[in-house]
Each structure stands twice: as C-alpha cells, then as structure tokens.
Structure 1
Amino acid sequence: MSAIDPVTLEILWTRLVSAVDEAAATFVRTSFSTLVREANDYAVVLTDRKGRNVAQSSQSIPSFISTMPVTIRHFIETFGTQNMREGDAFITNDPWIGTGHLNDASLAIPIFRDGIVIGFAGVVSHLPDVGGRLRNAANRELFEEGLQIPPMRILDGGKPQELLIQIIRANVRVPDETMGDIWAQIACCTTLADRLNVLIDETGIDFDGFADEVITRTGKAMQEAIAAVPDGTYRYVIENDGPAEMPGGIIRIACSVTVAGDRIAVDYTGSSDQVSLAINTVANYTFAYSAYALKALFAPWIPNNEGSFAAIAVTAPEGSILNPTKPAPCGARGMIGHLLPPAIFGALAPVLPDRVQASPGSPSNNVQLASLRGNVRYAINAFIGAGQGAGLMQDGTSAISFPSNLSNTPIEVLESQAPIEVKHRRIRRGSGGRGARNGGDGISFAFEMYGESPAIASFMVNRVRRPAGGLAGGEPGAAARFEINGKPTEPSGQYVLRQGDTVLIETAGGGGFGKPNG
C-alpha cells in the first residue's frame, strides 16, 4: 500500500477511533457491574491480524492499553488464526499473559472478511467477582485469589461453551453480574467487528496497509521526541508501604532510565524481591505503566497504538517485585505498579522539569464488601481517589485516581448495592504537600454497616507508612489513615464487619513541587 496522505490518514484514524468508542459505549450500556458503568475499569482495543494495537477506546485504563494486545498475541499463538472461525470468542484471566491479576477478564474475537482473519476486537474489564478471598495485599498465594481461566474459547463458532460457563458461575459470588459483564464484552467486540467491516465497505481501506502506516508514523514521532532529550542514564528511588514483616515494612522501587539516541530503556534492577503478599507486579503490567509514563512525557499528542511503544524497552530482574515468578500472588499489584510513573517522572525530572509531576497519593485505594442483603448476595468494589502530585506549572488535582484513570464510585450507588450508610465523603483539605505548587488533597471517607448479615470486607489503602514524596524541594503529602471502629488498623487484610461497625479511610495527599514560598 502506498503512503496515505496526512488528511486522509487523519479522517480514517478519527473514524476508526469512533468505531472503537462506539463499541465501548455498547459495553458500558450492556454491562451489569458498577466497575464498568461507574469506575470505568475497562479498555477496548482493535488490533491487526498480528495482534498489534491499532486503535483503542478514548476511555481506557492506561495499563490495559499495552496488555490487551499481548493477550491477543497469546490467543494467536495458542489457537492459530487458521483454526479460528466466525463466532469464536476467546477469554483468559491468566495474570502473566493478561493484566497482572485474576480479577480482569481479557476477551477477544477474530474479525473476518471474505473468510480471512483481518484483525481482532478485544476488551478487558475488571469482573465483579472471581471467587477466592476478596482482593487485598495480604493474600499469600495466587490460588487464594480466585478462579484461574487459561486461554479458552467461550464461544465456539457462535456456540456458548456451557462447561466453562458453569465453572465460572459456580466459583463466583455474583454469577449473574459476572456472566452479564462477560456477555457484554462479547457484544462490545461484535460491535467493533461490524463497524470495522462497515468502514472498509465505505472507504475501501486496506486495513493491513493502514495499520502499517499509522504504526510506522506514530513510531517515528515517538523516536523524534525521545531523540530531543540529552542522552544519559537517570535514576530515582521510591519507597512505599510493604509487608509489616519486612525491615521497616517498606518496598523499594529502583528506577534507571537510559536515553540513547531515539531509544529509551527502563530498568528496575535494585528493586525489592517478590514477596509472599499480593503486591507483586507481573512483567506485562510493569511494562504497561512504564510505557504509559514515557508516552505521557514524550509525545502525549500522538495516537495510542503499537508504534507509541516500539522504541521503549523495560526490564526487571526475574524474581523481583516487578517481575515475579508464577504463581506469586498479585491481586493488589496496583499498589506497587501505580508507582512506576512517578518513579520515571522522578528519574527524568532533571531533563524534563516542565513535564514531570511529584508522586501521587493514590496507588490503588479500594474497598470491597461481600455478604447477603436479605436473600440476595452482593459483592461491591469501590475505588477511592487521592491527591495528585504537583508539577512545575500547576497544583496537583484533588480526589483523583492517578495514574489509573478510575472514577470514585458514587455514594448513591454504594448505598443502593450494599447495607452501608456513608457518613461522609469529602476532600481532605490541606493533605497535599506544600511547595511552589501544592500537591492535590486526598479524600476522607467514612461509612457504617447496618446489615444484619456480617460482611466480609477487604481494603487496599496505600501510603500509610510512606507518604507521597515531593519533587524539586516540594514537601511530601500527608500519609493515609485507616481505622475500624475508631482504632488504627493494618489495611492489608480481610475483616468481618457487623452491624454498627464503622470504617474511616483517609487517602494520602500528593507531593508538592518546588520549595514552598515563604
């Protein structure tokens, strides 16, 4: 295919992204869980026949941008495109070939034209439940964390695989919600496949040639942006809450970023070893959040596709917390993985001071509750934002989930789905770190249980022992707090809450940037 002129390429690209966004809207409309409708914990991706990312939904979780194509390439390797047929749908939640924990289901369908696979429609989403112990950092084995689904067909030529469906339903607390979201994923992918074929019908586009063109152009733009930064190796270390039994209860993330011409490499040698708690971060997830940070720093204006990440290499020692060996527990991997962007920002601050920001207070704060409400079983999962780190030109934003792009679950939704009364949820004023630019404030969130049935409760609250650090002389944000019935409590673990029990979560503030004035 000859090179596409820039105007035509932009028109086709815009239409393609619109098709992916339409598929994402289908997913949101047909899903059952608040994780999709309220928290936006999903992403939709279109790949070419090789599994290269061509386009993604505008509303996406950054980590899923890079992981879904990896999963599709595993489907291709496992099943072979020559053995695929129309109506097939493939699913897995294997952390090492997916998103890094069992809670996310990665599902894809092959897109056919004239009987030949021309691409794949994929969607990854956090399921309402996967069984096992509720997700928290205290889980010590992958086997505790829920049902494992290896790469499998869930539709075979359009026929549902009833045995797999029965196994899923038998192993989760809310089977209707969980399978409802999986069927919504299939509807999403089917919509995207239809829209791609309509686009080809109307424009005559050679999809293979278009994919090559947009990926090549994007890759060149990213390489040019990298080449504008002085060559060198830049280092930074972040310390974060870790297992209480570790010396000081601290996890170390050692980040080394090397710029060499138009290539960039991130290495995490010197980081903590993997641990027997569920904060390990598998290699796919480590690459995803590292690549996201570099894309945001170097070329945020270019399309998100395979070309955005071709010049990036990410390594971490095998057996480390950022490249654990299977079957390490990893359900709460965001508590560490979400710290990779600020580690990279810290490393590159000397050469990109106007683009970086201080550390956020928001790595994966979360509450989960499961029990009975009357005769109906519920399982809710609510994310809680915190303070964003400040940058050279702006204060940090308050009450957001950076870098994960998750939304705070509305109070009305929480109270309608579980027997809790929210006492307050408000900005934790003054919790952001002081600086020439102040860090964003965290959230203060309190609720009381009133259900007659005791509830299993699981929490992920980060930065209790190590607050978010500042940059360029900025001060750290306030540390997080976690209390049950007015008593400070270790947030990593699973608890039983009874009628009248109260919970207080105060998320951390973001770090300040620059020395405070006065």
Structure 2
Amino acid sequence: MDAMQAINRQIQWNRLIAVVEEQAQTMIRTAFSTTVREAGDLSAGIFDLQGRMMAQAVTGTPGHVNSMAESVGHFLAKFPAHTMKPGDHYITNDPWLGTGHLHDLTVVTPAFHDGRIVGLFANTAHIIDIGGLGMGPEGRSVFEEGLYIPIVKCFDEGRANDTFFDILRAGSRTPVELEGDVYSLCACNDAGARRLAEMMAEYRMDLLDDLADFIFDSSLRATLAEIAKLPRGRHSAEIRSDGYEAPVTLKAAMEVKEDGIEVDFAGTSGLSTRGINVPPAYCRAYSCFGIKCVVAPEIPNNWASLLPFRMTIPEGCILNAPRPYPVSVRHVVGQLLPDLMMGCLEGFVPGRVNAEGSSALWNPPLRGGAQVSGQAAEVDDFEIITFNSGGTGARPGKDGLDGIAFPSGVRTMPVEATENVAPVVFWRKELRPDSAGPGRTRGGFGQIMEISAKNEAEFAVNAIFDRVANPPKGRQGGGDGAGGWVGLNDPNGTVLRTKGFQVVPKGRRLVLKLPGGGGMGDPRKRDRSMVERDLADGLLTPEAARRDYGY
C-alpha cells in the first residue's frame, strides 16, 4: 500500500466512525426506554459479511459492545448473508447469543450498496421490562426471567412481523415502550446503512473488504506491539463479591505471551442458583475491556484488536453459566472483572493500574401499584430502573472519580427524567462523605440516595447491589473504599437484603449508600491542600482527616 492509499484508508476509517456514531445517536434520540435515551446503555457497530466487528460507536458500554462483537456470527449461522434482503431486520435477546441477559435486545440489519449486500449493522439496547419476574436475581432459571426471543426476523423487507410484535407486547409490563424500542433499534441500523451507502458512493467503493483488511491488520499489529512492551510472566489476583446465597470468589491467572495475553479463571466460585451467573461472552467482554484499558487504550476496539486476548473459563464456574441457568443480573459479578484484570496487571505494570472501584452499577429496579399492593394500591402500576454509580478507584496520578460508572460507562440518569415517567420521588441524591478510600491519591466518593413512591405509598425494590460486605480494595498502601448500605429511613435504620425483591412499606423511603473507590499509595503522603479541599467541600470529616491522613 502506497502513502496515498494509506491516507485514503485512514480518511475512510474516520468516516466509518462517524457513521456508527450517528447510528448510536439515532437510537438515543428515538428510544422509548430511559435506560437508552438518558443513560446510554447501548452499543452500535458495523460488521463485515463474516460477522467481524469493524468499528463501534463511541457511545455505548463494553459489556454490550464486546458481547455484540460475538453475536453477529450467531445471526449469520441462522440467516446467511446471501439470504438477506433490503429492509430485513433480525432480533434476539438470547443471553448466550447476545449480551448476557434477556433485558438486552440485539438487532442485526444488512446494508446494501448498488443492490449488493456489503456489510451488517448491529446494535444492542437495555429495555425496561421483558416480563417474567423482572430484572432481579430471584429466578431459578432463565425461563422465569422473562420473554425469551430466539433469533427471528422482526421486519421482512420493511414489513413488520405482526405475529412477533403481538407476542412481544403481550409479554411485557411496558408494551408501548418495548415495541417503540424495537422500532428505534431498527431505525438506527437503517440510519447507519444509509450513511454507509453515501460513503461508499462518494469514495467509489464496491465492497468493504479492502477497508476491513486495513482496519484489522492495523489494529492487530498495534495491539501486539503494545503487548510486546509488557514483561513476560504470569500473575494472579482475586476479588470477593457479596454473592447471593454465599460470597463469590473470582480468581484469575494472567500470562503474557509473545502472541497475546491468556487469562485462566480456574479457582473461581461455582454456579449460583440465582440470577447472578455470567454467560461466557459477557465474561470475555469485560475481561478484554479491563485489559485493553491498561495495555492498549488508544487502539480502536474491533474484532482484530480483541483477538490477542484469550480466556479459559472452566465449566461449572459462575463466569461460564450454561443454559438454562438464571443470568438476569449478570452485571453484578461481571462488572467486577476489569478490577480483577487490573489486579493481575499490577504485577506487570504497577504504575498503570487503578485501585478497585465500586464497579457494579447500583441500578435499583423499582415497581409499584397493584402488582405490589393489590387493591390497596395508592399509585398507578409502574416499572422503572434508574442507573447510579459509586466511586471509581484511585488512579496512580489522580484521584478516583465520584459517582461515575466504571466499567460500564453508562451515564447517571437525571432524577427528573425518572420522576417524569414514574410516580417516584428522589428526596436525596448527594455525594457520600468519608466514603472514598484514603491514599496519596484517594478513591472517588460514593453517593447517598433516598427514594420513595409518590405520597410515600408502598412500593418494591428488586435489589441488585454489591460491594457491601466486600468493599473496593486499595492498592500500594491505599485504604479501602466504604462498603455500600441498603435500608429504610425508619428510626431503627432497618437493613434490607442487598439482593432480591423487597417491599418498602407505606410511609418509608428506600435509602442507598453507594460504595466509594479504593485509595492508592500512603495516605500520609497526600498533598495537604487536597485534604483541605475535601474538608472544605464537606466530603471529608475532621475525624476522618485525623484518622486517615494525620491532619
């Protein structure tokens, strides 16, 4: 390839990123679910005709993106590319063929140019309700967790599959939102396909093959070059999760080789009887993300740049759930995996990893009305979920971030947006003092939230929280972050279970204290002016300043 060809390929690559980002933004603008339009819990990308991800939108979550990277191949196995026609759209929420649980819909759409199929667009979005027990850990099999959609055609040459949509609406507590979201997913893929056709016409491209080869070759070579900078060897780490029936231990041994990085999860706890199990694609998704954050953060995320990261996930462990194990809240365990990967990488590059953070989202699914209180209900039926986060772990040269979703990357949902679509009231949402793990650089602060139904009517929470009994650990002498807390605002401070369906009685509010991130380095070496700043902001009490920093 000469210099001019390389320049043209780079321009085409940049244009491709704009195409998939418009794809994602179309979904956000047209989505019905607050989880998509407010939090950005989605992914979008373009694939070649072999099902290999060429590019992903900047907007989106690693759990969706990297799982979706595997899912398109499953669609092609059932519906080969040569059978697809313009206006076709295919859909599934199969946890083992998609992104890990039934609440994520994945849609794949063929893209055509000059009458020939040239590529595939795919996206994933988290929807509010898919029926069943709702988003929570209580199911004992995936069949209890909601409506299970195999890979099917939801639009045939632009015509809606009426039977599919009849079944879809009948299986959800929020049928209008669910149907609207499917239309949104299809519309965003159509937007990407139109922009791709315009791009290919402008650059007089017949196929995407040459551009795909350029992207994959460049990304693979760049990733291997970054891996080559690491010292060879093997390092291990482990993390404890609160679990459901019992605490869960996640173990990993990482080996850096010339042609990639291999991770073995031997020693990890076994499967749970409840929905905290993790399908293997979701395990690979967040493990790869955690490694890439440290080893190759500047290299685009695609099929080739993920190729050197190889996972061995033993059968029977919680990270390799087989059908039909329950997996509804697989993120509670799966989102701890980047911290686990960084624990391994600390042995290779100790100056480049963060301390542990709150990791798993604190996203309480709330439900109320007759489905909770029967004829005594004082509010209309509602089903809503709101996304919130504790603090991230301290960085080697900077403090952790407060109330920020890492590793998921979703946005915190404005309380006003949630209150606008459900009869709930957020009485309190503020940073949690003294929750950040002390260190030379401290962790990020968690939050305190206080929630009720309107008029303080009875409602329910399907708790899916972690990092309560096992708070985020500090590194290199830094202190642990504060563990979380779940309870009521009654005089006794009644403690609720961290997982499972529970009713908040009339006149009471749900109180959530989100975990803080772990600290990094000796707290006594922290810049005094930064301690004073946290004191002045009310984020650090004088007692904690004396105890942790000797101030």
TM > 0.5 between the two? yes
Instruction: Report if aligned partners of 1:396, 1:510 keep a CA contact under 8 Å in 2.
Output: yes
AA aligned opposite 1:418 = A
Distance 1:477 1:459 in 2: 21
Instruction: Report if aligned partners of 1:134, 1:494 keep a CA contact under 8 Å in 2.
Output: no
Distance 1:302 1:8 in 2: 19
- Residue 134 of structure 1, CA deviation: 2.1
Q: Report whether the alignment pairs 1:379 with 2:376.
A: no
Counterpart in the other structure of 1:190:
190
Instruction: Report if aligned partners of 1:449, 1:501 keep a CA contact under 8 Å in 2.
Output: no
1:514 to 507, 517, 521: 521
Identify the structure with the greater strand proportion. 1
Q: Report whether the alignment pairs 1:481 with 2:478.
A: no
Distance 2:4 2:367 in 1: 53
Counterpart in the other structure of 1:472:
476
Instruction: Report if aligned partners of 1:393, 1:437 keep a CA contact under 8 Å in 2.
Output: yes
Q: Report whether the alignment pairs 1:254 with 2:251.
A: yes
Between structure 1 and structure 2, the one with the greater Rg is: 2
- Residue 26 of structure 1, CA deviation: 1.2
- Residue 448 of structure 1, CA deviation: 2.1
* C-alpha distance 3-69 of structure 1, shift in aligned 2 (>3 A): farther
AA aligned opposite 1:226 = I
AA aligned opposite 1:230 = P
Residue 461 of structure 2: SS of its match in structure 1? strand
1:275 to 241, 247, 272: 272
Instruction: Report if aligned partners of 1:142, 1:330 keep a CA contact under 8 Å in 2.
Output: yes
Q: Report whether the alignment pairs 1:501 with 2:505.
A: no
Q: Report whether the alignment pairs 1:331 with 2:332.
A: no
Counterpart in the other structure of 2:533:
none
Counterpart in the other structure of 1:202:
202
Q: Report whether the alignment pairs 1:236 with 2:233.
A: no
- Residue 430 of structure 1, CA deviation: 1.6
- What's the RMSD between the two structures over aligned residues? 1.7
Distance 1:4 1:153 in 2: 42
- Residue 82 of structure 1, CA deviation: 2.2
Residue 354 of structure 1: SS of its match in structure 2? helix
Distance 1:451 1:162 in 2: 40
Instruction: Render the CA deviation track for 1:78-134: whole Å, top value 9, x for unaligned.
Output: 111222111111000000011111100000101123433211011100012101112
Residue 290 of structure 2: SS of its match in structure 1? helix
Aligned residue runs from structure 1 range 217-236, under 5 A: 217-236=218-237
Residue 386 of structure 2: SS of its match in structure 1? strand
Instruction: Report if aligned partners of 1:385, 1:400 keep a CA contact under 8 Å in 2.
Output: yes
Distance 1:374 1:157 in 2: 46
Distance 1:418 1:361 in 2: 27
Distance 1:252 1:271 in 2: 6
Aligned residue runs from structure 1 range 337-348, under 5 A: 337-348=334-345
Counterpart in the other structure of 2:313:
316
Q: Report whether the alignment pairs 1:406 with 2:397.
A: no
Counterpart in the other structure of 1:60:
60
Scaled by the length of structure 1, the TM-score of the pair is 0.96
Q: Report whether the alignment pairs 1:450 with 2:446.
A: no
Instruction: Report if aligned partners of 1:433, 1:511 keep a CA contact under 8 Å in 2.
Output: yes
Instruction: Render the CA deviation track for 1:307-344: whole Å, top value 9, x for unaligned.
Output: 21111101211121000111111111111111111111
2:263 to 251, 263, 266: 266
Distance 2:145 2:443 in 1: 34
Instruction: Report if aligned partners of 2:456, 2:507 keep a CA contact under 8 Å in 1.
Output: no
Please list every run of 5 or more consecutive structure 2 residues that lacks an aligned counterpart in the other structure: 370-376, 525-549
- Residue 140 of structure 1, CA deviation: 2.3
Counterpart in the other structure of 2:145:
145
Instruction: Report if aligned partners of 1:346, 1:471 keep a CA contact under 8 Å in 2.
Output: no
Distance 1:512 1:4 in 2: 49
Residue identity (%): 34
AA aligned opposite 2:139 = N
AA aligned opposite 1:514 = G
Distance 2:124 2:75 in 1: 14
Instruction: Render the CA deviation track for 1:490-512: whole Å, top value 9, x for unaligned.
Output: 12111234542210001101111
Aligned residue runs from structure 1 range 107-146, under 5 A: 107-146=107-146
Distance 2:265 2:106 in 1: 27
* C-alpha distance 160-4 of structure 1, shift in aligned 2 (>3 A): farther
Distance 1:199 1:349 in 2: 43
Instruction: Report if aligned partners of 2:277, 2:327 keep a CA contact under 8 Å in 1.
Output: yes
Instruction: Render the CA deviation track for 1:57-94: whole Å, top value 9, x for unaligned.
Output: 11110112222132111110011122211111100000
Scaled by the length of structure 2, the TM-score of the pair is 0.90
Instruction: Report if aligned partners of 2:430, 2:449 keep a CA contact under 8 Å in 1.
Output: yes
Distance 2:343 2:487 in 1: 31
Distance 1:506 1:375 in 2: 26
AA aligned opposite 2:140 = R
Counterpart in the other structure of 1:362:
359
Please list every run of 5 or more consecutive structure 1 residues that lacks an aligned counterpart in the other structure: none
Residue 380 of structure 1: SS of its match in structure 2? strand
Counterpart in the other structure of 2:302:
305
AA aligned opposite 2:296 = A
AA aligned opposite 1:339 = L
Residue 503 of structure 2: SS of its match in structure 1? strand
Distance 1:45 1:218 in 2: 16
AA aligned opposite 1:163 = T
- Residue 374 of structure 1, CA deviation: 8.2
Greater shift, 251-260 or 442-451, is seen at: 442-451
- Residue 513 of structure 1, CA deviation: 1.1
- Residue 375 of structure 1, CA deviation: 8.6
- Residue 263 of structure 1, CA deviation: 1.0
Distance 1:262 1:110 in 2: 33
1:491 to 498, 516, 530: 498
* C-alpha distance 46-4 of structure 1, shift in aligned 2 (>3 A): farther
Greater shift, 407-416 or 364-373, is seen at: 364-373
